[in-house]
């Protein structure tokens, strides 16, 4: 039988906590405060991995003997990062961009264990149906878009408009739990 080691989740995301809880993983939360600005010329893949590493490293300094998990998720369309909207108008513009199109959800994952840091990346493609102005307005008003990358939550109102997902569904929710499990299992066998 496997044993899921207790860890510190370096995240304030309620969705990440829900995923960890749903698989029975014991954890405590410690929310990192880092600058999430993109660096000039940084690719979306490098961006999410850097932020995951910075979050995990910062929290690992406060919990030196504990296993620490950091993650960062972003939405990418046409090679550009679509972060969290600052207001409803920006959320509307983001959802208009996603309407009728495929986009990628990227999550960087970082595990700090016994002073060693590993970093991984999960990529999932998501297709939104073509949406009317009324449907976009509905998603902006009812979908609680302001704390979500890409202004939507796949497990909530946005599910009405998702035509396809290629890859890890849990990555789109906010944490590729299978990747996390594999990375932690590998860190514990070394």
Residues β-bridged to residue 27: 7
Kindly state the DSSP code that residue 105 receives in the 8-state scheme: E
Q: Kindly tell me the burial class for residue 87, based on how many C-beta atoms sit within 10 Å of its own C-beta (0-12, 13-18, 19 or more).
A: exposed
Which is nearest to 73 in space by CA: 136, 178, 161, 147?
A: 147
Active-site residue, 78 included? no
Helix (H) or strand (E) holding 129: none
- Helix %, strand %, coil % of the chain (to 5): 40, 25, 35
d(CA 190, CA 179): 17
d(CA 107, CA 177): 11
d(CA 115, CA 85): 35
Residue 122: helix, strand or coil by DSSP?
Answer: strand
Which of the residues 72, 87, 133, 144 is marked catalytic?
A: 72
Q: Which residues are catalytic?
A: 72
């Amino acid at each position: 039988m496997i044993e899921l080691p207790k860890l510190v989740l370096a995240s304030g995301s309620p969705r990440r906590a829900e995923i960890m809880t749903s698989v029975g993983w014991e954890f405590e939360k410690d929310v990192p405060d880092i600058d999430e600005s993109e660096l000039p010329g940084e690719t979306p893949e490098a961006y999410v991995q850097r932020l995951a590493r910075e979050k995990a490293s910062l929290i690992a300094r406060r919990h030196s003997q504990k296993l620490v998990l950091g993650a960062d998720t972003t939405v990418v369309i046409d090679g550009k990062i679509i972060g969290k909207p600052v207001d409803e108008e920006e959320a509307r513009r983001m959802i208009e961009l996603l309407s009728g199109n495929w986009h990628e959800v990227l999550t960087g994952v970082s595990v700090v264990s016994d002073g060693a840091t590993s970093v991984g990346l999960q990529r999932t493609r998501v297709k939104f149906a073509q949406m009317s102005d009324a449907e976009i307005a509905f998603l902006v008003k009812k979908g609680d878009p302001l704390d979500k990358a890409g202004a939507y939550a796949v497990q909530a109102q946005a599910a009405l408009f998702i035509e396809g997902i290629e890859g890890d569904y849990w990555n789109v929710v906010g944490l590729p739990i299978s990747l996390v499990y594999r990375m932690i299992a590998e860190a514990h066998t070394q």
